[in-house]
Amino acid sequence: MIPWPDPTPTSACNEALEHLRAHATAWVELTLTDRIALLEELEVTVAEAASEWVHISAEAKGLGASPDVLPDIRAEEWLAGPWTVLRHLQLQGRALRDIQVHGAPRLPGTAREAEDGRVKAPVFPTDPLDRILFRGMSAEVWMERGVELEHLEETMGWMHRPGGKGARPGITVVLGAGNHSCIGPLDTLFELFARGHCVILKTNPVNAYLGPAWERAFAPLIRKGVLRIVHGGATTGEYLCEHDAVDHIHITGSDRTFDAIVWGTGKEGQDRKRTGEKRVRVPITSELGNVSPVIAVPGPWSASDLAFQASNIASSLVNNSGFNCLATRVIVTAKAWDQRRAFLDAVGRSLEAAPTRPPYYPGAQLRHRDFLAAHPNAKRFGAKGREANGIDTVGWTLIEDVDPTKTDDICFQTESWCGLMAETALEGEDPVDFLRNATEFCNDVLWGTLNATILVHPTSMRDPRIARAVEDAIGRLRYGTVSLNLWAGAAFAICSTPWGAFPGHKAEDIRSGQGFVHNTYLFERPEKTVVRAPFRIWPRPVWFHDTKHNDTTARRLFDVTTNTTAWRMARLAWSAARG
């Protein structure tokens, strides 16, 4: 039996806000030494609560699922739950120690100024353990134009830097996401340790069952008087966002929820949006989803290359039943690519092999039907909508050959938020021409600016023209994260990278949101994250849906992160190699 807590009464919300206000000044004035000690204490309590945290999440998301899918769900709950949070705590503690000794976080490599004048700072791998666990993967953060290399450290630190962002007593309302269990905690930790605000975290009704596990995991923050966790739906969220005690709002959700908070609903909300009359008086940051593209650059892909990248894309959809803001929604291919048909067939085979999951997030069937109504020829895989174990499933869906000239197509303008993605084919005389067209299509047609991925074969990259075209595309894609050969979910999870929309959205057209979270190096003016990985990764990534023993590997990864020993590393290597 999964316990769902009752909504928190208004009186209790008021008491929580009063309690936080009473501790807000002391929190800002807390020394770095005390903050570091608190982070170290949180590492212990998160590790102690981890098994309960994962168990209840997997149980809730796996209700009615067939036994063969449960290991996948458990693996995802370890990775996108306590492991990511533990990693964030460790990296944040490391950054604060650097500030204590050096005055600013120490980068794991040398920042540089590129030919285009932008400063690019390496942020991954962060240490030798990262190099072992994530072989060949790297990430760097590109700063906004105007940030100078010699003054980069003056834009790192947030509340911990004199004159930095934050550092004033305040309270942030964090409206937690209902999909991954790490999101609410990560957003909370950023507000606490970067902005310097106390936090009232409202759980999402979809996963409010996590409240008791979170209270145990973050007990040191609750005892310190800087965190309170409350429960409830839209009414509770509205009350908190409009409360006079609140100084800032952060939401991970949809643009519709953002509009409801900022402008209101119905005709009144539309009128407010048109005139710019906001309902909330405080700043609001947000991460609001995306129609995430994967650009497949034509090249000499072997049959095994096609199969590997098909699993890469399929897994990005299957993960968490498709309820991810960074799930692949549109595959962008070249119409002239002679392997296009073989690639799409490989994606279909990978989807067919993925066990069907219960659509735990409300409204999945209705959203799925809207897409099928617009595209009745969509290809369906898995359970194909049949009832499975008493659960009405939607299976996995691929809509091929969507006309790229129909820019208002639902596949291009609406995040499906279920196990569905589309494919569109663009013109291009060669890979260089195709990349130029694909970049323009993603920037100008697809809704959102959160993350994009490019897949390109290493042989293609040995052609200087194609290599330049790839780098040009990475630079011109207006997304908060651009990933080369790797699902952008990895950038979300490693935490040293800022996560958020490409800067510049106004509240009247919010799209993927405003602001960045995670960001353990505490950059104040990031523009985008660029992640790179080999075209083929070995061992097979633990997040691939067809990786064997992935639940064991995920748990052992958590154990290694908690306490790195030779024995634990050997056990992790053994299970990963068998995948």
Q: Which residues contact 148 (CB under 8 A, 6 or more apart)?
A: 119
Tokens standing for residue 74: 């458990």
Task: Please report the domains of the chain, with CATH numbers, ordered by start residue.
Answer: 10-105+156-287 (3.40.605.10), 292-532 (3.40.309.10), 548-579 (no CATH)
Cα(412)–Cα(281) distance, integer angstroms: 33
Residue 386 pLDDT: 44
The residue with tokens 């449960």 is: 70
Cα(571)–Cα(579) distance, integer angstroms: 13
Half-sphere exposure of 23 (CA within 13 A, CB side): 21
* Cα-based torsion angle of the residue sequence 360, 365, 370, 373 in order, rounded to the nearest 10 degrees: 140
Contact 516, 480 (CB under 8 A): yes
Determine the 3-state secondary structure of 5 from DSSP.
coil
Tens digits of residue pLDDT in 232-267: 999 999 999 999 999 999 999 999 999 999 999 999
Q: Tell me the chain's radius of gyration from C-alpha atoms.
A: 23
Confidence of residue 440 (pLDDT cuts 50, 70, 90): very high
Task: Tell me the one-letter amino acid at 187.
Answer: D
Residue 189 pLDDT: 98
Across residues 331-339, what is the average pLDDT? 97
| Whether residue 384 has pLDDT greater than 70 | no
Cα(248)–Cα(549) distance, integer angstroms: 43
Q: What is the mean pLDDT of the chain?
A: 95
Tokens standing for residue 32: 């770095």
**Buried residues in 22-51 as b, exposed as e (16+ CB within 10 A):** ebbeebbebeeeebbebbebbbebbbebbe
Confidence of residue 385 (pLDDT cuts 50, 70, 90): very low
Residue 167 pLDDT: 78
pTM of the model: 0.97
The residue with tokens 């634990």 is: 568
| Pairing relationship of beta strands 526-532 and 328-334 according to DSSP bridges | unpaired
Tens digits of residue pLDDT in 189-247: 999 999 999 999 999 999 999 999 999 999 999 999 999 999 999 999 999 999 999 99
| Whether residue 174 has pLDDT greater than 90 | yes
Tens digits of residue pLDDT in 347-357: 999 999 998 88
Confidence of residue 66 (pLDDT cuts 50, 70, 90): confident
Tens digits of residue pLDDT in 461-501: 999 999 999 999 999 999 999 999 999 889 999 999 999 99
Output the 3-class SS for 166-202.
CCCCCEEEEECCCCCCCHHHHHHHHHHHHHCCEEEEE
Its sign, for the CA torsion 320, 321, 323, 329, is positive
- Within 10 angstroms of residue 464's Cβ, the number of other Cβ atoms is 8
